[in-house]
């Protein structure tokens, strides 16, 4: 499933748009940025409540398919600007991370 398909199936809000045609390979759920830097794999959806500029920096290092802000969280203006500059897709949902991950698994049968 592509990021675009994931957005459409789950009515996700786009905060910053990168490559929506990128294939989703799995997901990582975590809010500790230092841990995310070592655990997020290329192609994964990174689900977090963090919305500061550092999410764009972590994404630049790890190349997730997108960042999904969960629990209704949003990114601050600096984070949005940096994500746009780096063409990082940042999405938003009101769902908790667990429920969003379950939807992703059910729809994509990813790891």
Q: What is the mean pLDDT of each run of 10 residues along the chain (111 residues)?
A: 96 98 96 96 98 96 98 97 97 98 85 49
Q: What's the pLDDT score for residue 110?
A: 56
> What pLDDT is recorded for position 108?
79
88 DSSP 8-state letter: -
Residues 42/40/3/78 CA torsion (nearest 10 deg): -110
pTM over 0.85: yes
pLDDT score, position 109: 63
Say if CB 19 and CB 89 are below 8 A apart: yes
């Amino acid at each position: 499933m592509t990021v675009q398909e994931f957005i459409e199936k789950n009515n996700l809000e786009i905060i910053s748009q990168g490559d929506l045609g990128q294939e989703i390979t799995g997901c990582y759920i975590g809010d500790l940025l230092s841990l995310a830097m070592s655990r997020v794999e290329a192609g994964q959806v990174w689900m977090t409540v963090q919305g500061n500029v550092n999410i764009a920096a972590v994404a630049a290092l790890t190349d997730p398919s997108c960042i999904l802000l969960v629990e209704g969280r949003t990114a601050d203006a600096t984070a949005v600007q940096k994500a746009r500059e780096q063409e990082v897709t940042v999405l938003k949902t009101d769902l908790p991370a667990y429920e969003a991950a379950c939807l992703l698994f059910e729809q994509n049968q990813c790891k």
